[in-house]
């Protein structure tokens, strides 16, 4: 397994603060296929994923978020729903460790984060579709705390963030009978209810999203190939970005401040392909590499939303 420990020494971190190159943006992909697999890539260097370790339990329909140092996986289904929050340290590939608990058993939720705080929202919580948002402080361990509410109850939604603002995108409505195009947002450092941001280009669920410090990408739209984007600091409707080369959904989406990756996926089967996009430039995806396991994962990275 790769080991990034020591790649960036304290002196190099000091040099980075003085304008030297940033440390590598490390991503994890955690299987949402009822497996406990975690794989990893360096977002800045194209190539195939490698084994990172295992989750505490085999899961589906969980959420994943990241700080600059930790990847955190929450909720999901594992022969029943779970309230488990678990974490890994990006620099040290190994099995996940217990972090704490969500307020109830929770799946089909979405997660986003700043460098210090992680949010989980929407989904099915304790048996009911919810608009609940909860938060954790990522550098510590402990149970999640109430943050506020989404503007609309929905599940199978997605989320992404800049260092200050979290977006929640798409999803099925509370009855599961209709897709939505809703985008709402919160200020991550505060607490309170979400505010309307705008609309996706189409009603969509089971989408995936990643972001730089300025722009969020959402793909695929309504199980197609289209990628939407929004400017995170403003409000407004999404616009077309380009296409993913294969029409699937349930990608694992991760990013550095410059590159977004959409990995795996599922529709009539599962994929191993990892697609790459340059977030600042409109266009179609290019090949990055492959996962070692065919899966529709959730993803988290150390450099998303401009954290590095």
Number of domains the chain contains: 1
Query: In this predicted structure, what is the pLDDT of residue 176?
Result: 67
Residue 1 placed within a domain = no
CB 273 within 8 A of CB 308: no
Rounded Cα–Cα distance for residues 148 and 65 (Å):
18
Task: Tell me, yes or no, if the pTM score tops 0.95.
Answer: no
Query: In this predicted structure, what is the pLDDT of residue 14?
Result: 39
Residue 20 placed within a domain = no
How many percent of the chain have pLDDT more than 90?
79
Name the residue among 7, 60, 54 with its Cα closest to residue 28: 54
Residue 18 placed within a domain = no
CB 211 within 8 A of CB 227: no
Residue 17 placed within a domain = no
Top pLDDT among 28 and 226 is at 28
**Which tokens is 140 given?**
């510590």
Residue 243 placed within a domain = yes
Percentage helix, strand, coil for the chain under 3-state DSSP, each rounded to 5: 5, 50, 45
What pLDDT, in 10s, does the model give residues 65-83? Answer: 999 999 999 999 977 899 9
What pLDDT, in 10s, does the model give residues 2-19? Answer: 444 444 433 344 344 445
| pLDDT tier at 245, thresholds 50, 70, 90 | confident
What pLDDT, in 10s, does the model give residues 167-220? Answer: 999 999 987 678 999 999 999 999 999 999 999 999 999 999 999 999 999 987
Give the domain extent around 258: 29-306
Residue 22 placed within a domain = no
Residue 4 placed within a domain = no
Residue 12 placed within a domain = no
Rounded Cα–Cα distance for residues 133 and 140 (Å):
19
**Which tokens is 172 given?**
């099925």
Query: In this predicted structure, what is the pLDDT of residue 222?
Result: 75
Residue 116, domain CATH: 2.120.10.80
Q: Rg (Cα) of the chain, in Å, rounded?
A: 17
């Amino acid at each position: 397994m790769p080991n990034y420990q020591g790649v960036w020494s304290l002196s190099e971190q000091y040099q980075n603060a003085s304008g030297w190159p940033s440390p590598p943006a490390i991503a994890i992909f955690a299987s949402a296929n009822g497996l406990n697999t975690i794989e990893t890539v360096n977002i800045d260097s194209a190539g195939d994923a490698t084994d990172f370790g295992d989750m505490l339990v085999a899961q589906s329909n969980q959420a994943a978020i990241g700080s600059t140092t930790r990847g955190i996986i929450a909720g999901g289904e594992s022969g029943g729903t779970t309230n488990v929050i678990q974490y890994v340290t990006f620099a040290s590939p190994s099995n996940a460790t217990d972090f704490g608990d969500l307020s109830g058993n929770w799946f089909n939720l979405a997660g986003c984060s700043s460098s210090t705080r992680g949010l989980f929202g929407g989904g099915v919580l304790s048996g009911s579709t919810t608009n609940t948002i909860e938060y954790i402080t990522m550098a510590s361990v402990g149970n999640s705390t109430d943050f506020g509410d989404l503007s609309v109850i929905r599940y199978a939604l997605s989320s992404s963030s800049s260092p200050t603002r979290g977006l929640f995108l798409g999803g099925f409505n509370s009855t599961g009978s209709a897709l939505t195009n809703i985008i709402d947002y919160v200020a991550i450092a505060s607490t309170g209810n979400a505010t309307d941001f705008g609309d996706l280009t189409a009603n969509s669920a089971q989408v995936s999203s990643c972001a730089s410090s300025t722009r969020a990408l959402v793909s695929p739209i309504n199980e197609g190939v289209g990628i939407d984007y929004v400017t995170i600091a403003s409000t407004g409707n999404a616009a077309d970005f380009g296409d993913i080369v294969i029409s699937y959904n349930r990608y694992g989406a991760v990013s550095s401040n410059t590159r977004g990756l959409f990995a795996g996926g599922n529709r009539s089967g599962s994929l191993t392909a990892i697609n790459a996009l340059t977030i600042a430039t409109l266009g179609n995806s290019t090949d990055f590499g492959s996962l070692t396991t065919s899966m529709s994962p959730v993803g988290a990275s150390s450099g998303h939303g401009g954290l590095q």
